[in-house]
Chain A
Amino acid sequence: MNEDNYLNAGYSLRSWFFTTDHKRIAILYFASLIVFFLIGGAAATAIRIELVTPQADLVSSDMYNRLFTMHGIIMVWFFLIPSIPNTLGNFIVPLMIGARDLAFPRLNLLSWYLFMLGGGVTLFAIFAGGVDTGWTFYTPFSTLYSNSYVAVAVTGVFIAGFSSILTGLNFIVTIHRLRAPGLTWYRLPLFLWSLYATSVILVLATPVLAMTLVLIVVERVLGVGIFDPKIGGDPLLFQHLFWFYSHPAVYIMILPGMGVINELISCFSRKQVFGYKFVAWASLAIAALGFLVWGHHMFVSGQSLLASLVFSFMSFMVAVPSAIKVFNWTATLHKGSIRFDAPMLYALGFIGLFTIGGLTGLFLACLAYDVHATDTYFVVAHFHYIMVGGMVTAYFGGLHYWWPKITGRLYSEYWARTAAVLIFFGFNLTFFPQFILGAEGMPRRYHVYPPEFQVWNVLSSGGAVILAIAYLMPLVYLGYSLFFGRRAPANPWDAPGLEWQTPSPPPEYNFDTQPVVTRPPYQYSPDFAAEPQNA
């Protein structure tokens, strides 16, 4: 723990709230994301407790609708999208490329303020009365028939959208222009490849959401029909505009998770990632193909048959890069020397759960089965397997992996492993029963359901309680390690990345001398002299 690090470079509020240091901005994002994750999680727990019984007993129907909408909006825009890029990404990207800071530090701070402003407006809308449209804001319900705080919540999300755009812009330009000498594209760690792909989606998809939300506010506030069927408007036009953003948005959420998994699998099996170039280009392929598949949300909404065929075909194609990544991660383990530290448990959990999530995505991309399964709990289970089983697990894995670098402290390995196993078990108990509920035909967003679905709902609610407790554990032992944890060395995992060649926590200017890169990434075993880069 060297003395002049970025943490003790200043203790005043000004030094924190007007910082342009990417490391401090990452810490600001950490704190705000914990708050949003707890709010969204509380809503989720309330929903699961309500669903223990078929009839309504905990909350009224209207309250239930506002709960699941709040869970959706908060988790999607205020936790999943900003989590890895704005916290781990903000902290690690400059360190990984050997730069002093991101390309536009002031823009980075503006991004945090826009995020908090958007979050504030959305929280105001939710606590002032709530929104009952679902996070998808489908018209004409959201524009003509809902009398809840839709316009205010939509404005909040609109503002937070610009925070995403600015972060994406910052990363793209930084990765292009501020790499250390000798750091060519094929020497970049795969975490940066996936963050670059994420930023491309962030920058190209979010503006269409911004315009769609403007159209909702215009139609709702000025009473002017745009999607109103009575004057010839077409509700499906809204769905096209909304899903043009919202499907790439789910790749914004999962790609950074994949990036973290590359680092963890490679570090804890002491071996180069298998097929580096394939995994790198698979990230960009997901970003590009992700824009061609949004119609699979509208197979039964009256979309033309040809459009459904094209979108179904493209949805199968976008699954191929994901399959390539999973096979390459598994192949990386071959002939490695694997250690089962907490981050590795999260990584292995990620591979299992993400694969189940991805395969059930194929069920939904398959036209005939989607007719049965869309809008049921099958869809809920699918995207939770990817978002919670994949993204949140990877976020926790990355958090534990870079915790020593960020805080200069070591966490307790025992508690971290128990939490990882408990999360894995609680997660599966919560969401696997929902696949069966979906196959049986229980629709989503149902406050009251027929009694024969109760068995699976009780199991799922039980799992949710375990998951909620398991998610609080890292808060405890990581918080404890902040003050009482052992001091962390510069390179606790003995990893070759640039970010480990600076003290933990790093000084404000990151590197004493400008690092120069001479070898490809993931050279873990010095005895295998300079392994050639397997293509």
Chain B
Amino acid sequence: MKEFIPISKAHKTPKRSLTNRKPLILLSKDSSNAMMGDVVIAMLPLLVMACYFYGTRPLMVALWSVAACKLADSVCCLIARHKLMLGDLSPMVTGLVIAMLLPASVPYYIPVAAGLFAILVVKQPFGGTGNNLFNPAAAGFAFAAVCWPQTIFRYPQPMERMEAAGPVTVRLLEGSAYTLKLGGIPSIDWQELLLGNFAGPMGATHILVMATCLIFLLARKTADWRIPLGFISVAAVFSFFFARIPTSPLNSIYFELFSGSVIFTAIYMVTDPVTAPKTGWGRFVYGGLAGLLTMLFRYYGGFEQGGMFAVLVCNALSFSLDRCFISAKESVRRVYGELVNAKK
């Protein structure tokens, strides 16, 4: 046993030596920044796949959007005199999500513009990390989609290498979601569809990789299982009953879910904890609503992908969902208590 230090020495100046902040040994092990880090980790495999398919250009796209987001975020924190946290990973997540949804052949100013829009219009005016009402990534990508639809929705063929710098010379194709929108059946066989080996967004086509990442996120409790479950199930049911292409309903599910960015939306955009509801049932309904709206936007919307718009609309609804579920629970408890009292 070590020698005793008289505690009086320790408390010559109590206020400085003693704090009222709990030591971490009494608190939970993981931190909120670590949760963001999980999402970043879960997105790195997609980036690797994109680099494998398209060369180094996807890396540059991701770097540009992440840099734009991070820079804008830090500058806004300085202006608003928040505590500037350079280690904050949430702008990085925003930038990565935007990059993953873009085609690899996109000119660099588009990810930069989308990232700036996401941070300067959607995130920081509403209070920055943790306070934003809308998913910044979804809004940024929606902005890009509205501004440059021809560029955003024309994808290069995989295995066609592109230089990081210099003009893009490869041939650009329409995505499979566009084929569906026209009512045609995309001519992609199923392994390629699962592996993401077809023209599409650079990060959002690798179904198997994303499934693995989803398992990782669920295991780390970073993503709530209810949201992707509700999203995918409702989307599947919708495309089962209202097939817009002349195939068997199961084929319709298969193509609708795996083309475009439905799965990516379900895993990375809807599960954003900041903008999702907090109550369990609220999350379930939120996911289902997002799935339904996504399919509706894809069917009737002006663009071939509707995930980002659907996410925006659902973000606007999440607070109301929570409120109504909480008040419902409260009223149920009150009625139950009255019944118990009546019994006594």
Whether chain B is bound by chain A comes out as no
Which residues of A come within 8 Å of B, CB atoms?
A: none
